[in-house]
Structures are given as C-alpha cells and as structure tokens.
C-alpha cells in the first residue's frame, strides 16, 4: 500500500489467529493503522488480498455482509465520535446504524455506560470528555452491536495509566462474556503488548517477527519486550541505539527555578486547576503525571504566560510571572503536546523564524541555527519540510525550536507520545544532557512510567489538584508496591474514592438519557425499498446532523441571518434603474427660452439639477469627479435662432464610464428633447405638422413602473437558495472527511443513499426556513407584490432546495478540505446562477455551452417560477415545464452523488 510516493505496507504475508487478542507492535508511521483499516474494510486494497471472516474484503458484497460483525475504533482520541453530541447521543447513533430498536438501544446505553463508569456523564458532550473517557466512549460505540471481531487502533495512546488499566480490564470482561470474539490491537506501549496473546512486531511497513510475548523475548535473548523489539529492528537502526545514561544531579544546585502558590484557573463554573502549589529547582528534571483532563496542560500554559491564572501566583527565577513581561518569558522554552511548527517552512526556515521571534541578534542567527542542527542531529534533514519527517525527527525539531533562544527552562507537554523506543531514548538523552551539562530546568508531563522513573522528582495530579510531590523511588517505597505505575494508580484510586457522589449530576444524566430516546422511532418497512434503504439508519444521520447543526451557532447563523443580510445587500445593491442623474447646464444664452429648456429636465424624476456650469474647465472638473452625469450646453443666441427658424445644436455631455447607464441616459435626454420640441410646436399651432398618421402607445403589462427591484429581488431568492444550502450540505460531508468521522460510514452497514439522504434532509428544512425569510423580506422590505400562488412558490422551493442540497452533496464527493468545499461550491453555484440562468440576460439569448448550461441548471427553472409567481400571477398550471425540470434535477444530482461517493478510503 502506498500514499503517493510513500510506501506504508510492503509485501506483508500474515495469518492472524482467531479467538485471541492479537497486538500489532511498533511506533507511529510503520503501517499499523494502514493494515488495520484494510482489515476493517475502511480502506481500499491496492495490491494483494485481505480475507476477513471467511471472505475477501475486496468484494463489496462480502464487506456488506460482515461489517455488522466487525467493530473498528480508529486511531486518535475520540476520532470516531461527534464532539457536540452527548455520550448517550453518540452511543444511540451507533446503535441505530446497526439496526437496534429504541428499547434495545436504551438497554445497551444503560449497560455500556454503567460498565465503563460513564453513567454519570451521559449528558456531557463528547468534546468535553477527558482522553480516557473519550476512549471508553469510543469502545462503547464500537461494542454496541456485539461484534465477532474488535479492531482497536492505538486505543490508549495519550491516556493515563489508570484509564489504561481500566480500559484493558473492560476488554478482559468483554472477552469473558464473549469468549469467541477476536481482538486486534495496535499499540506503541510495550507494557500493554506484554498482556496480549499473540504479537506482530512491525517496522517500516514490514513484519519483523510474530509470536507470543514470551516467544519474542526468548527468541532475542533479552529480558523485556522493549529490549526484544529493539533487538528485532534492522541493524542500521539498532546501531544508533544507546541506553539513557543519567548522571547524578549536582548536590549544591538548589536555586528555585519555578514556584507556584495556590495557582488556580477557572473556565466559567469549571475549575481546571485548583490551588496548585509546588517548587522546581534549577537544573532539575521535574515530571508532571496525572489522569487525562486533570489540569496538567493548563498549569503548564499558566507557567509559560499563555494563560493568566484566575487566582494564586507563580514566580520564574524569582520574578513574579507576568504574561506581558517578554523578558521573563524569553527565559522559558515551550514544546506543546501536538506538533505546532509551520509545515510549509523547511527545518532551517522554522529555526530561523523562531530565532527572530525571540529576538536573537541578526548576526548570531546563522551560528545559533547551526548549533541547534548539530546538537539535535538535524543536518540530514535541514532543507526538508516537517510533514515529510519521521515522528522522532519532528520531536527533535520541536526541541531545537524550543531551545533556539537558549532558555533556562524547558516546559514539555507529553513530547514523546507515539515515538519509537529508540527515538524516545535518544530524545531523553538530549534532555538529560541539557539538564546536567547546561543547567537547563526540565518540566515535563508524560504518561510513560519508564520516563517518569528518569525524573528527579515527580508530581501526581488529579481533578485539578496536586496529590503528592516526591522522588519516584520514594513514592514506590511509601506505597509498598513494586512499580511506579502501581504507586500512581494507588494514589489516583484513593483520590477517586474520596470524591463525593454527585447525586444531582446522576439525576440530570438519567433525564438526558430519556431525552435522547424521545426521537420518533420509524416503523419497520417491507417491500423493495426495505432492502435498499433502512429508514432507521437514514433517520439516525438526520437526527445527528440536526443536533450538530442546532448546536453550531456559526453554521446556523450563516444559514439564516447570512441569507437575510445578503438579500438586503444584493437587493439594494443590484439596481438597474437609472434615476436621479445629476446634471447641470452651461447656459450661454441666458434667455427665458433657454431656461425653459433646462427646466424641462429639472421636472423629471430621472434628473437632479446641480448648480450651473460656469465654463469648460468647471464642466471637465465636475464630470471627472463624478459630481455630474450629464452636462447640457446651450449655445449663444439659442432663443433668437429658434425664433428665426435656424438650425440650433444643443450639446449633451454624458458620463459613459458605465455603457449601459450611459445609453439609458442618452435615451432619456433624447426623449426629453423630443418632448420639448413637441410642446413648442403645439404652442406655435404646428402640432399637426409634427404628428404622424398613427401613434404607438406603450404599456407595460407586468411591472408597469419598470422598477428593476421587481425583477431582481425574485431573482436573488433562487441565487441565495442555491449558494448557502449547497455550501452547508457540502461542508457537512467534507467536515467528516477532515475530522475522520467519515470512517463510521465506511465500516457500518450504512449505504451511500442512506448516508446522503440522511445528511440532506436537515439542510432542505433549513433551506425552506431561509426561503420563507427571503420571501417575507421581498414582500415587506422591498415592496415586491406576490401576485401569484404562494403554494406554487413553496412547492417549487421544496424541489429547488432538494436540487441545491443535492448539488452540494455532489460537490462534496470530490472535495477533501472544508476550504476547498467553500470555494468550489461558491464557484460552481454562483457563476452558472448569475451568468447562465437568465438573471440578467434571457437563457434564449445565450449561445453554445452557455445555452446548454442555462437549459439544464436548476436555478434557471426556479427563476422562471419565482418571477412568474411574483410578477405575472402564475400558478402551477402555467409552470409545468420548469416544475418538471426541478423534479428531475434533485434525483439526478442525488444519483450522481451516490455513484461518486466512495464507501472506502482510497
């Protein structure tokens, strides 16, 4: 398997035993996730064969049959969860996808949340859970349908030891209840791998060895699984390995580097850090351990000045911590939990940028960058981009950036998650050298117990409070246990046991569970469609999308208020009426007749008179500035020449910067001139000489006042109903691709049609709400009368909303990012709607490809209906053809989206 030029898997031949727990062992980036996604059916097979549960996963029919027997939990904390949905709503969604009725879903939610300890939190959004609780919820969602094969991709990465132990205890209990269930797990934790029945050690997309943990240790002649894995690595990697050597810390270095006293941070009513106090000495390696969500990262951010504390105080090197004091902050280097450097810059450019950000003198930057490159072994990748580097190299780059300004303290937030043992030990040796050789104070958080054992002292934290601070060996001795992990779990369990039960929260959780199950339950269907569309699965997507939409104020505001604002802007801004033309007269005659000629223009609603022009320079200046749109020059002797019957020329200077506006103004001037001549002829008794045999009297049947707003506003409604609903629908699918939750569609029985229609329904409803808002604005604010059948317009609106959202679904099938979806949808909806749908020029006047697009594009037909109902009092009986076109467009677009949507990652 390849991702572009990168090879993820290379010629793997592997038979995994059934009915046991199989572990894929190795660091990030060596092909574990790719292999598991192939087994789960989430990714298409490029080459070779993958047989699971008695059939080939390359065959769509077999995947459909076995996916109800497979549960897949992808890599990443809560990657398959929906952050705005509560615990109960997430489990309910997955249960509905696998066909459980309401009563059964309710029973399983209660059972799973109780067994995982999530029962008091069923009403809490998944996005607000700690890492360990997210993994428990992910497991609940995976196990809601009693699978025969459970696939877990690094389920405990970034999870604290207590949550890890609870997680594996749950797995053991489940296996006891279902002894025939097979479990395949990917992990980078060696202590976890030791508990599995059978292991597959992997590196660089290949299998190094297989067997039980005991067999691998015996085969390599080592004393631990981690040592066995290192021994199995290729020679070029193994030669670079050196055990971490930690010399004793100087006994005379007791200066305080960090002191925190009653440090507290609140977010609203939630207290993330609760009166934390500790001291860290200069050159000390100080470890920060605790359960997920206990406040470690928040404490670190307060100590770097990234977050202001709500209470308490902290001192750095004897100076009170001030977030605005850059001099103190320059003495600290911070390495965040996730990779946070610029992927579009090379290694060298990242180092140079951060050197300038920390105000390293310009003449020292080159030498400083070279020093970091040599110290952290980055010479071979100096001109590479971070995204192309292995995880271990990226961690070294992050450390080099944190050290570029030579800080006296390093604060590192879980810097080695997912890194292989060799790279992790090399990283730690660098930290030890910084501490012992350069006197840098190291403040580090970690979930690896072997890393915590290397610290001079560690602090255990839970629920925002520090439980104890002591040297690792002292903690183990004080608890009377064998390992630091046992001591850590002992303190956490003791803290949890002392927490008071929150009866109010439990009552609210029960109420939330009841609310979750209140959604209408669809009746079982029979017949042809029952085999092609499962209404329960379809409506589960509709319900979930509706809940997410309701809880996302930005999307909801964009849909409702955004449409109204654009309607107001475009309704007033796109105005083809040529009125209130500013004009002035250069009257060189100054007679009653010349003034009467000028007054002929002044009395029209099309013209607004400005002060007279005094000369050509004044005329030129005022027309250049835009003050005048029209200048009339009446020549000398104007009245005398007319009285004597001589030819007289009156000059009209027009602003032709806008050709259409200029041509219209020219017509106005010529008409007013002809009207003045006719009036003078009548006064002179020569009316019959200027009249023809017949007169043409023009009457406008529709829009008698010829106001452009009557034509434009009904045309803007189709434009906005195409733009925003299609954009929101496209984003709803593409967002799942970006966040990774699209994997739930890949590995569940959901069909393409169920997924797309379930996604589409909430946005059709939202589009219709916008439709009614736009119609009300058109009638009340713009004064456009609705002369025809409202029912006809509403029916057309429903069909058009289906077409618009169907186009959004179609666009989403070939978009990979939300930014691309926004721009792509805007271009593919606005251009045809404005240029080819008849908004400005009739479709019948178009030629070539433009005519073809205009004939088939849904906006053309809804525009005909909208203008017909608003201005011509048309009803359904007059609009069969555009109605038929809209009725065909929606299923055609939905069918095209169904065909193009992939049920596997490519």
Q: Which pLDDT band holds residue 479 (cuts at 50, 70, 90)?
A: confident
Find the helix or strand (DSSP H, E) in which 460 lies: strand 457-462
Q: Which pLDDT band holds residue 664 (cuts at 50, 70, 90)?
A: confident
C-beta atoms surrounding 351 within 10 Å: 26
Residue 368 has pLDDT above 90, yes or no: no
Q: What phi and psi values does residue 270 have, to the nearest 5 degrees?
A: -95, 130
Residue-wise pLDDT tens digits, 304-338? 777 888 888 888 877 787 767 667 667 788 777 66
Mean pLDDT of 603-626: 85
Architecture of domain 581-690: 3-Layer(aba) Sandwich (3.40)
Residue-wise pLDDT tens digits, 634-654? 889 888 888 887 888 888 888
Q: What is the pLDDT of residue 516?
A: 46
Residue-wise pLDDT tens digits, 508-537? 444 444 444 444 545 544 444 445 678 888
Q: What is the pLDDT of residue 514?
A: 47
Residue-wise pLDDT tens digits, 709-759? 777 788 888 998 998 899 999 998 998 888 888 888 888 888 899 999 999
Beta strands in 75-224 (DSSP E): 149-153, 182-187, 198-203, 206-211
Residue 506 has pLDDT above 50, yes or no: no
- d(Cα 192, Cα 289) in Å, to the nearest integer? 19
Q: What phi and psi values does residue 410 have, to the nearest 5 degrees?
A: -115, 130
- Report for 43-47, 80-84, 319-323, 796-800: range of highest mean pLDDT: 796-800
3-state secondary structure of 313: strand
**Structure-derived torsion over alpha carbons of residues 826, 829, 830, 832, reported in degrees to the nearest 10:** 150
Mean pLDDT of 433-450: 83
- d(Cα 341, Cα 320) in Å, to the nearest integer? 29
User: How far is residue 627 CA from its own chain's centroid?
Assistant: 48
Which tokens sit at 53?
Answer: 């549960």
- d(Cα 299, Cα 288) in Å, to the nearest integer? 10
3-state secondary structure of 625: coil
Of the candidates 314, 322, 310, 321, the one whose C-alpha atom is nearest the C-alpha of residue 271 is: 310
Which tokens sit at 749?
Answer: 């029985």
- d(Cα 291, Cα 489) in Å, to the nearest integer? 10
Distances (CA, A) of 340 to 68, 298, 406: 39, 17, 19
Residue-wise pLDDT tens digits, 803-841? 999 999 999 998 888 888 888 888 888 888 888 888 777
Q: Which residue has the higher pLDDT, 340 or 898?
A: 898
- d(Cα 705, Cα 292) in Å, to the nearest integer? 70
- d(Cα 446, Cα 432) in Å, to the nearest integer? 15
Q: Which pLDDT band holds residue 435 (cuts at 50, 70, 90)?
A: confident
What percentage of residues in the chain have a pLDDT greater than 70?
89
Q: Which pLDDT band holds residue 802 (cuts at 50, 70, 90)?
A: very high
- d(Cα 645, Cα 647) in Å, to the nearest integer? 7
- d(Cα 43, Cα 57) in Å, to the nearest integer? 10
Q: Does domain 2-238 bear CATH number 3.40.50.300? A: yes
Domain boundaries, the chain: 2-238, 338-405, 533-570+707-900, 581-690
518-523's contacts with Cβ under 8 Å and 24+ in sequence apart are 519/543, 521/101, 521/102
- Classify strands 409-413 and 332-335 as parallel, antiparallel or unpaired: parallel
- Classify strands 607-609 and 332-335 as parallel, antiparallel or unpaired: unpaired
- d(Cα 861, Cα 665) in Å, to the nearest integer? 33
- Report for 231-240, 457-466, 576-585: range of highest mean pLDDT: 457-466
Q: What is the DSSP letter of 86?
A: B
Q: What is the pLDDT of residue 858?
A: 92
Query: What is the average pLDDT value for the chain, to the nearest integer?
Result: 81
In a 10 Å sphere around its CB, with 0-12 CB exposed, 13-18 middle and 19+ buried, how is residue 662 labelled? middle
Q: Judge contact between 413 and 300, C-beta under 8 A.
A: yes
- d(Cα 296, Cα 174) in Å, to the nearest integer? 32
In a 10 Å sphere around its CB, with 0-12 CB exposed, 13-18 middle and 19+ buried, how is residue 406 labelled? middle
479-488's contacts with Cβ under 8 Å and 24+ in sequence apart are 483/449, 484/449, 484/452, 484/453, 485/161, 485/191, 485/449, 488/161, 488/162, 488/289, 488/449, 488/452, 488/460
**Structure-derived torsion over alpha carbons of residues 93, 94, 97, 102, reported in degrees to the nearest 10:** -60
Residue-wise pLDDT tens digits, 490-502? 888 787 776 655 4
Longest dimension (CA), the chain: 127
């Amino acid at each position: 398997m390849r991702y572009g030029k990168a090879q993820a898997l290379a010629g793997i031949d592997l038979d995994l035993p059934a009915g046991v727990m199989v572990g894929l062992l190795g660091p990030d980036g060596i092909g574990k996730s790719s292999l598991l996604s192939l087994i789960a059916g989430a990714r298409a097979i490029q080459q070779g064969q993958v047989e699971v549960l008695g059939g080939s996963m390359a065959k769509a029919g077999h995947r459909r049959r076995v996916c109800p027997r497979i549960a897949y939990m992808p890599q990443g904390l809560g990657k398959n969860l929906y952050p705005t949905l509560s615990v109960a709503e997430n489990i309910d969604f997955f249960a509905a996808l696998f066909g459980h009725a309401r009563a059964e879903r309710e029973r399983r939610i209660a059972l799973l949340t109780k067994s995982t300890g999530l029962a008091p939190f069923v009403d809490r959004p998944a996005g607000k859970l700690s890492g360990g609780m997210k993994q428990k919820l992910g497991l609940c969602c995976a196990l809601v349908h009693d699978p025969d094969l459970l696939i877990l991709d690094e389920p405990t990465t970034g999870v604290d030891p207590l949550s890890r132990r609870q997680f594996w205890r749950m797995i053991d209990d489940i296996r006891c209840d279902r002894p025939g269930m097979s479990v395949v797990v990917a992990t980078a934790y060696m202590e976890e791998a030791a508990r599995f029945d059978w292991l597959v050690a992997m590196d660089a997309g290949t299998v190094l060895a297989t067997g039980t943990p005991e067999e691998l240790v015996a085969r390599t002649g080592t004393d631990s699984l981690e040592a066995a894995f290192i021994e199995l690595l290729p020679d070029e990697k193994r030669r670079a390995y050196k055990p971490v050597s930690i010399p004793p810390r100087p006994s005379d270095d007791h200066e305080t580097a960090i002191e925190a006293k009653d440090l507290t941070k609140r977010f609203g009513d939630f207290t993330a850090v609760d009166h934390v106090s500790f001291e860290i000495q200069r050159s000390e390696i100080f470890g920060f351990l605790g359960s997920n969500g206990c406040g470690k990262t928040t404490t670190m951010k307060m100590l770097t000045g990234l977050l202001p504390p709500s209470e308490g105080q902290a001192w750095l090197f004897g100076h009170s911590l001030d977030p605005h004091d850059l001099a103190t902050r320059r003495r600290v280097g911070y390495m965040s939990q996730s990779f946070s450097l610029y992927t579009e810059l090379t290694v060298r450019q990242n180092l140079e940028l951060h050197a300038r950000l920390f105000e390293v003198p310009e003449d020292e930057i080159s030498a400083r960058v070279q020093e970091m490159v040599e110290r952290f072994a980055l010479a071979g990748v100096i001109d590479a981009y971070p995204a192309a580097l292995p995880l271990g190299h990226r961690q070294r780059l992050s450390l080099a950036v944190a050290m570029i300004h030579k800080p006296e303290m390093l604060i590192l937030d879980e810097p080695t998650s997912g890194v292989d043992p060799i790279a992790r030990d090399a990283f730690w040796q660098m930290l030890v050298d910084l501490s012992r050789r350069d006197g840098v104070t190291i403040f580090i958080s970690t979930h690896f117990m072997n890393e915590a054992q290397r610290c001079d002292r560690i602090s255990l934290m839970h629920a925002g409070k520090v439980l104890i601070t002591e040297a690792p060996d002292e903690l183990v001795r004080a608890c009377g246990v064998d390992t630091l992990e046992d001591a850590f779990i002992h303190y956490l369990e003791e803290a949890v046991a002392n927490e008071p039960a929150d009866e109010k929260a439990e009552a609210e959780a029960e109420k939330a569970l009841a609310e979750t199950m209140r959604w209408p339950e669809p009746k079982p269907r029979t017949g042809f469609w029952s085999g092609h569309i499962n209404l329960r699965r379809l409506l589960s997507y509709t319900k979930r999308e509706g809940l997410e939409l309701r809880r996302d104020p930005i999307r909801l505001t964009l849909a409702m208020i955004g449409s109204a604002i654009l309607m107001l802007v475009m309704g007033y801004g796109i105005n083809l009426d040529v009125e209130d033309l500013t004009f002035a007269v250069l009257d060189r005659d100054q007679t009653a007749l010349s003034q009467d000629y000028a007054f002929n223009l002044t009395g029209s609603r099309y013209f607004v008179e400005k002060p007279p022009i005094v000369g050509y320079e004044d005329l030129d200046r005022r027309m250049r500035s835009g003050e005048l749109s029209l200048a009339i020059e009446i020549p000398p002797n104007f009245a005398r020449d007319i009285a004597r019957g001589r030819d007289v020329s009156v000059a009209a200077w027009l602003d032709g910067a806008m050709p259409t506006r200029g041509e219209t103004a020219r017509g106005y001037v010529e008409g007013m001139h002809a009207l003045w001549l006719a009036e003078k002829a009548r006064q002179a008794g020569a009316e019959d000489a200027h009249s023809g045999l017949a007169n043409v009297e023009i009457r406008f049947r529709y829009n008698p006042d010829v106001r452009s707003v009557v034509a434009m506003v009904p045309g803007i409604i189709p434009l906005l109903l195409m733009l925003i609903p299609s954009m929101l629908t496209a984003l709803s699918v593409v967002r799942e691709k970006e966040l990774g939750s699209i994997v739930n569609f890949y590995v569940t029985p959901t069909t393409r049609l169920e997924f797309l229609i379930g996604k589409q329904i909430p946005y059709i409803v939202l589009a219709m709400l916008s439709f009614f808002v736009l119609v009300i604005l058109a009638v009340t604010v713009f004064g456009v009368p609705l002369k025809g059948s409202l029912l006809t317009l509403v029916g057309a609106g429903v069909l058009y909303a289906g077409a618009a959202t169907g186009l959004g679904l179609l666009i989403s099938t070939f978009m990979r990012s939300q930014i691309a979806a926004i721009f792509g949808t805007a271009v593919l909806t606005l251009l045809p709607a404005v240029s080819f749908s008849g908004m400005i020029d009739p479709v019948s006047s178009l030629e070539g490809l433009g005519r073809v697009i205009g004939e088939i594009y849904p906006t053309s037909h809804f525009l005909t209906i909208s203008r017909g109902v608003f201005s011509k009092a048309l009803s359904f009986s007059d609009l069969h053809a555009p109605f038929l076109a809209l009725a065909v467009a929606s299923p055609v677009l939905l069918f095209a989206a169904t065909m193009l949507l992939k049920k596997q990652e490519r």
